[in-house]
A and B are shown apart, each in its own frame.
Chain A
């Protein structure tokens, strides 16, 4: 399946979950399909959207969080798996789009050339639940179980590279506006104060 198909399948099962998306293909495709400014799109710090998701999940336990990660980003911050397991957030589900390349720079092959088993890495880090899904049908079949279960859990979505040809449509807003749109959506939805009385 294509990354776009996998993300479409996740979005079809989403109800009130909040996504923290890794920069590049994951963020671009999630935005292209969802047009949601109630999700966070990290435009830098490759590898660390999953850690942002963890910090948010620990701080707002009544929220349901999906970390939408990618294989390249995960490999930039493998330690996040240890931290996530140690903290054991029940409200965090971790997804990794695994296309085995750095898609947005022209589908340059990753260092492991597809030989690494990210589910095995997650299990070795201590994840009790880690599964690899190959098709949209498999996603549709297991998403109800993933959503119903407590986190943390790891789901690797095996997707095909677009060969670097299909760059996701660029978002029409960026850095600080991503912060304010997302933060305001959290304030409105959960009644918390993100920016304070003076708006910072």
Chain B
């Protein structure tokens, strides 16, 4: 569980006070950490786009936030990300498990693995892939960079990071 403790440490370095989430199994432990954290308001949602809008509302209160989901959920949010966050230039920071990668052999994740990065590029959403624990210190700088971009920023977390290398 240490990787999830480390992720929480870096979320705190971003001064995250609100986390809105819908679980993918790879990030479920991170969501559990947010739920248990006294300094973060955790908001479970019924659809990932709710998390996007809740974080966008928190932005206007001056509160730093994160939306946590899987890539399947991320792909369901593209309309809202475009017409809320791009339209109004409201930044939102998203942490998503990068499903469908070469080491993810769940067949129902294969399209997400092939198309997600191309979708992000098509919308011109900045993103960063975090694959190793030593890359975690980049999270605070990525958070700030996403804010100044005034767009959705997607931090993709790999299987190797979240679940370790395959045996």
Binding site for B on A (CB under 8 A): 20, 40, 42-46, 48-49, 51-60, 63, 77, 79-80, 82-83, 86-87, 175-176, 178-179, 182-183, 186-187, 190, 192-194, 196, 198, 200
Q: Which residues of B contact A (CB under 8 A)?
A: 17-18, 20, 41, 43-47, 49-50, 52-63, 65, 79-80, 82-84, 87-91, 147-148, 150
Select one of A55, A87, A193 contacting B65, CB under 8 A.
A55
A192–B53 Cα distance when bound, in Å, is: 20
Q: Which of B57, B79, B90, B147 contacts A54 (CB 8 A)?
A: B57
Rank and list the top 3 A-B pairs by shortest CB-CB distance, nearest first.
Answer: A44-B83, A55-B57, A79-B46
* CB-defined contacts of B44 to chain A, threshold 8 Å: 83, 86
18 contacts between A and B (CB under 8 A): A43-B87, A45-B80, A45-B84, A48-B49, A51-B50, A52-B57, A55-B18, A56-B58, A56-B61, A59-B41, A77-B49, A79-B46, A83-B54, A176-B89, A179-B90, A192-B61, A194-B60, A200-B147
Q: Are A52 and B54 in contact (CB under 8 A)?
A: yes
The secondary structure that dominates the A interface is: helix
Q: Are A82 and B46 in contact (CB under 8 A)?
A: yes
Do the beta carbons of A200 and B57 come within 8 Å of each other? no
Q: Which of B43, B62, B84 contacts A44 (CB 8 A)?
A: B84
Given A44-B88, A56-B61, 16 new contacts (CB under 8 A): A42-B84, A44-B84, A48-B49, A48-B84, A55-B57, A55-B58, A59-B17, A59-B63, A60-B63, A77-B50, A79-B50, A82-B46, A83-B44, A175-B88, A176-B89, A186-B60
